[in-house]
Amino acid sequence: MSTPYLSVDRERCIGAGMCAMTAPDVFDQDPDDGLVLLLHAEPHAAHRATAQMAAGVCPSAAITLHEPGSDPVRPVIR
């Protein structure tokens, strides 16, 4: 069984910081440009729910959650 993992698209990121505020154990912001920094691509089970929440609140949909055996989940921008 594989572990869910995250990926970030720094080109898509606008530096809103919602990810770092929602899941500070998983995401941070680069002090130079304010863009997302992924601290843990495979977050500990205790942090997976907040990591998924962070992906959902990202205003630029720069965070993708990859679940083993399924298509990657990237939030839809509305």
Give per-residue pLDDT as tens, 31-40. 999 999 999 9
73, 39 contact by CB (below 8 A): no
Region at 66 (left for phi over 0; alpha for psi -120 to 50; beta for the rest) = beta
Give per-residue pLDDT as tens, 23-70. 999 999 999 999 999 999 999 999 999 999 999 999 999 999 888 776
pTM metric for this prediction: 0.84
26/76 Cα distance (integer angstroms): 21
- 78 has a pLDDT exceeding 80: no
CATH fold of 5-66 reads Alpha-Beta Plaits (3.30.70)
